[in-house]
Chain A
Amino acid sequence: MSTATTTHAEVARREQPPMLVAGPLAWARTNLFNSIGSSLVTLALAYFLLKFAASFIDWAFLKSVWTVPMDPATGKLDPEACRAAKGTGACWAVIWDKYRFILFGRYPFDEQWRGAVVIVLFLGLFVVSAMRRFWRKELALIWIATLAAIGMLQWGGVFGLRYVPQDEWGGLPITLILATFGLAFAFPIAVLVALGRRSTQLPAVKLLCVIYVEVIRGVPLISLLFMASVMFPLFMPAGMSPDKLLRAQVAIILFAAVYLAEVIRGGLQALPKGQYEAADALGLSYWKKTFLIILPQALRLVIPPLVNTFIGFFKDTSLVLIIGIFDLLTSGKVAVADPIWQAFSTEVYIMLGLIYFCFCFSMSRYSRGLEREFGQSVRR
């Protein structure tokens, strides 16, 4: 027997790898400085990165102008200080002056708190729907109740709220309405279209689905929005003209459904044939097989491209600019058109970019969480 004994403390010490083998210094050594060329590139990139960061911080925070005084003669804001700083400092004063217009469009000033509540309701809805423990039948009721509340807040006319016609809606609530209703309705349609395209028993259904997908995919969303906005009323009986927002909403739903359908169809195809056969061999009817076996697996397979499509469509809602609906981006553009602030569009677009980024990045992170959670049972 060896006479050397080890105490517990000694063993614990030995289990820590030396600092140059693992940890951030080691990572830097192997990835950034592993050769002369690599080290030079690292140093050059670090220099440019730091220079850019320094000048951005300088422009955005150090030399920026946060407020401008009011000109007592005209009662309007005097942007001289901003103009003087143009090129060297950001003018965040435009944001302080215009943020309510950017967020709420032409919604009446006093009623804009309703728009804020609507935004909060949407955020709450997304957060609750994202948490898996709420995935029960009650969630459908929560959705219906929340969407009804949102409609009631936006329109008004009940509970003492002033009625606000749809022409005056705008800003972030419009973007959220178009995106949420759009994708919520497009998804079930997409599932049916994807299943229809793979149908072997009903060739008529399959043909219809193929035509629908190919026609809609063949035209840009802008042209669909135009057609919905201009042509739709021509086909309706006189006097009956569905409002502009509804037309845009329907166009977005039909368009998104097609792209989602193709993503889902990819998942259906990727599923091994044996799964379909095992379900058939057990005597499961078509719909039971589809909802219990096929769709749960197919949808888990295509989480990355599905979320990708969702993120894309969230931003595509900005195309309603073309038909004169004031979504978030349009409101931003119109805010900058104000003669006082005409030169300061950069700052406004940075703010808009940040808002879009927050939503899209959250969706992206959520998708990674979903993949991690569901990957466990799908891994074969």
Chain B
Amino acid sequence: MLTINSIKKGIVIDHIKAGCGIKIFNYLGLDRADFRVALIMNVESQKLGRKDIIKIENVIDIDYTVLGLIDPNITIDIIEDEKIKEKIKLKLPEKVVDVIKCKNPRCITSIEKYIPNVFYLVDEVKGEYRCEYCDEVHTLEEAEV
């Protein structure tokens, strides 16, 4: 049994879909961290079967918006004195800029690369976003975070 100690002050990113932990780890630049970080993969979970967890022993600024796009089921616990001070439930943002890309081959963003990729939330349940320029609706899986 692998044991990771609890942290005194920092952030726990929990309920990450198994296999997505490394994506978040890389997105947050934790490979360059000079503080203690643990990426735990394939932990048993009642809700998910298996899940990934990231424990960060530091207080860092996190763009929760992007984490919501990667996986809206993720939970974030803010830890102080080894206790959960705050629980943050992610939800999909109304507008996202330069996080997902339009997959419509007829969209102007497919040829003019300087344009910011702007999307608006259409359906929170299905995770669907509409491109600002061509109006094409994509699911997050299609749009590639």
Q: Verify that A and B bind, or say they do not.
A: no
Which B positions have Cβ atoms within 8 angstroms of A? none
